[in-house]
């Protein structure tokens, strides 16, 4: 719709511009035609003036010959003064017409001959026998001159008729073109009006629909808030009421083992051990689930967090385990970011624990933590132009096949049996939720028996971040 409206405006502007251009051209053309008509009028006027002056010469000379009165020569002398200028005007006016140029040459010769015979008449007396011959010749030359001027005037009148018709045609064509373009412009504007009306109606409908969606969304938000309250109450129950029976199971199992262990056979002791271990594992599972749910349900303010202090505290807590495994540590200085300290503690604690857990037999474990500053355009889903830190946690453990990359970040997804490695299958899901809550990115690179490198990308600052980014479990993590 927007493209059609834009195209309609372009067409309207082209029509208006074309109408203006054609009108301007037609106006100039009409002006040229009118100028040619005036030019023809001027040629006819000059020819009539020349003929009138020659007539003055003829009349004046005849009057003088009859009366011998010099006062009759005044028109003759005036004509002799004016004829050169009129002939010169005729030359200038007929330079664009070859036919009239040839005729003008003949006219000048006829005028010259006429003036010559008139001069002879003035020097001849009335009773002189030559006078009759001269008068007869003068009359003949005057007739020739009249005929020639009439021919030139007729030619100019023919040109004037042609030019008048051409001027009328140009004016008529101009009116037709302007009317046609005006009609087309009007129709285009009508179509544009209809398109704009439809677009406004569509936008109004869309706005009404968005309002309905907003109302629906607000209702769903209220439902979610109520659901979150119920989940928080459930979390409270899970943290207290559900763990209380587990603690009693563990306590009584330990008491039975301590008091009556000497009365049990090996199978009974094995069964009591399984009860204690299952209760302990259930307690740990509940705690991990609570940690997982609290990440998104407990809103805390972002504050400056030193990742170096977080990682160092975790390494200090794991000191005995690190020394027992003889782990080779390589830890770079980590930056200070805006975040939530408790969540950063969960994140790096789970990643470091995984690196210390999935070690290869007879291979000295390696734990390397490195960092580099990057731009948001380096990873899909981040904001280009923003400053991020890419933190890598690398180990040389058992690794995994990258086709399972999407599964390891889901709740309760394990790649190994419970008996092979301890854990609840929630740790990496917690890592994913922490990173997403901080508007970052997490992925991993790994090959079996070649170790694993977890890549965590966190923004330096949480200001102007896209807080409405998706935080559901459908977030994908491409390999590499």
Q: Look up the CATH number of the domain holding residue 83.
A: 1.20.120.1730
Residue range 285-309: mean pLDDT, rounded: 72
Residues 319 and 189 in one domain: no
Task: Check pLDDT > 90 for residue 372.
Answer: yes
Look at residue 84 and tell me if it is in a domain: yes
Q: Which of 280, 297, 318 is nearest to 229 (CA)?
A: 297
Residue range 443-453: mean pLDDT, rounded: 87
| Chosen domain end from 194, 209, 231 | 194
Q: What is the CATH number of the domain that holds 348?
A: 3.30.565.10
Residues 186 and 307 in one domain: no
Q: What is the residue range of 415's domain?
A: 301-480
Identify the band that residue 100 occupies on the pLDDT scale cut at 50, 70 and 90: confident
Chain mean pLDDT for the chain: 79
The pLDDT tens digits for 168-182 are 777 787 778 778 777
Q: Please state, for a pLDDT cut of 70, what percent of the chain lies above it.
A: 84
At residue 365, φ and ψ (nearest 5 deg) are -65, 145
Model pLDDT, residue 293: 60
| Chosen domain end from 144, 170, 194 | 194
Produce one character per residue of 198-237: b if its CB has 16 or more CB atoms within 10 Å, e if not. eeeeeeeeeeeeeeeeeeeeeeeeeeeeeeeeeeeeebee
Residue range 218-226: mean pLDDT, rounded: 83
Model pLDDT, residue 23: 72
Residue range 273-299: mean pLDDT, rounded: 67
Name the strand (E) or helix (H) holding 370: strand 366-375
Q: Determine the distance from the C-alpha atom of residue 127 to the mean position of all C-alpha atoms in its chain, rounded to a whole number.
A: 104
**370 vs 454: CA distance, rounded Å:** 11
Strands ordered across the beta sheet of 441-446 = 328-331, 366-375, 387-395, 452-459, 441-446
Range with the poorest average pLDDT among 62-66, 78-82, 391-395: 62-66
Model pLDDT, residue 306: 93
Model pLDDT, residue 368: 92
Cα dist from 305 to 107, 252, 300, 439, whole Å: 111, 43, 13, 15
Which one is predicted more confidently, 434 or 404? 434
Look at residue 279 and tell me if it is in a domain: no
Identify the band that residue 278 occupies on the pLDDT scale cut at 50, 70 and 90: confident
The pLDDT tens digits for 423-433 are 456 778 888 88
Identify the band that residue 369 occupies on the pLDDT scale cut at 50, 70 and 90: very high
**12 vs 150: CA distance, rounded Å:** 54
**437 vs 296: CA distance, rounded Å:** 7
Model pLDDT, residue 285: 66
Task: Check pLDDT > 70 for residue 221.
Answer: yes
Look at residue 286 and tell me if it is in a domain: no
Burial of 411 (0-12, 13-18, 19+ CB in 10 A): middle
Task: Check pLDDT > 60 for residue 245.
Answer: yes
| Chosen domain end from 160, 194, 228 | 194
Look at residue 111 and tell me if it is in a domain: yes
| Number of separate domains in the chain | 2
User: Quick check: pTM over 0.75?
Assistant: no
Look at residue 226 and tell me if it is in a domain: no
Q: Determine the distance from the C-alpha atom of residue 467 to the mean position of all C-alpha atoms in its chain, rounded to a whole number.
A: 26
Identify the band that residue 294 occupies on the pLDDT scale cut at 50, 70 and 90: low
Look at residue 229 and tell me if it is in a domain: no
Cβ distance 300 to 339 under 8 Å? Answer: no
Model pLDDT, residue 168: 79
């Amino acid at each position: 719709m927007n493209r059609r409206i834009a195209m309609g405006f372009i067409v309207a502007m082209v029509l208006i511009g074309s109408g203006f251009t054609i009108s301007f051209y037609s106006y100039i053309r009409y002006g040229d035609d009118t100028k040619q008509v005036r030019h023809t009028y001027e040629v006819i006027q000059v020819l009539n003036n020349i003929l009138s002056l020659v007539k003055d010469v003829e009349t004046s000379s005849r009057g003088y010959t009859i009366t011998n009165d010099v006062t009759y020569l005044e028109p003759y002398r005036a004509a002799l003064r004016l004829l050169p200028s009129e002939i010169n005007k005729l030359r200038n006016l007929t330079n664009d017409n070859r036919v009239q140029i040839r005729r003008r040459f003949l006219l000048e010769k006829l005028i010259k001959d006429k003036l010559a015979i008139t001069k002879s008449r003035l020097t001849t007396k009335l009773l002189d026998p030559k006078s009759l011959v001269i008068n007869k010749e003068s009359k003949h030359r005057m007739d020739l001159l009249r005929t020639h001027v009439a021919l030139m005037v007729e030619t100019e009148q023919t040109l004037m008729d042609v030019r008048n018709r051409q001027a009328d045609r140009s004016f008529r064509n101009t009116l037709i073109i302007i009317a046609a373009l005006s009609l087309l412009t009007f129709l285009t504007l009508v179509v544009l009006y209809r398109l704009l009306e439809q677009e406004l109606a569509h936008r109004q409908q869309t706005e009404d629909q968005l309002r309905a969606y907003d109302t629906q969304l607000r209702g769903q938000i209220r439902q979610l808030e109520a659901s979150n309250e119920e989940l928080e109450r459930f979390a409270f129950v899970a943290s207290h009421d559900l763990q209380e029976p587990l603690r009693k199971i563990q306590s009584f199992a330990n008491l039975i083992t301590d008091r009556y262990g000497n009365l049990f056979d090996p199978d009974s002791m094995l069964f009591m051990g399984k009860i204690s271990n299952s209760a302990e594992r259930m307690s740990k599972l509940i705690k991990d689930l609570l940690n997982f749910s609290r990440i998104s349900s407990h809103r805390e303010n972002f504050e400056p967090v030193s990742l170096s202090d977080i990682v160092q505290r975790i390494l200090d807590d794991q000191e005995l385990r690190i020394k027992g495994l003889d782990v080779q540590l390589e830890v770079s200085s980590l930056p200070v970011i805006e975040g939530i300290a408790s969540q950063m503690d969960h994140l790096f604690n789970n990643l470091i624990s995984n690196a210390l857990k999935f070690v290869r037999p007879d291979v000295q474990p390696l734990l390397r933590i490195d960092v580099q500053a990057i731009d948001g355009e380096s990873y899909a889903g981040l904001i280009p132009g923003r400053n991020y830190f890419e933190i890598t946690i690398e180990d040389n453990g058992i690794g995994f096949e990258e086709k399972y990359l999407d599964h390891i970040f889901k709740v309760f997804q394990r790649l190994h049996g419970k008996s092979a490695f301890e854990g609840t299958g929630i740790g990496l899901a917690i890592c994913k939720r922490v990173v997403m809550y901080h508007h970052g990115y997490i992925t991993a690179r790994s090959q079996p028996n070649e170790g694993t490198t977890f890549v965590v990308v966190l923004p330096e600052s949480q200001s102007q971040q896209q807080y409405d980014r998706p935080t559901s479990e459908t977030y994908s993590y491409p390999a590499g």
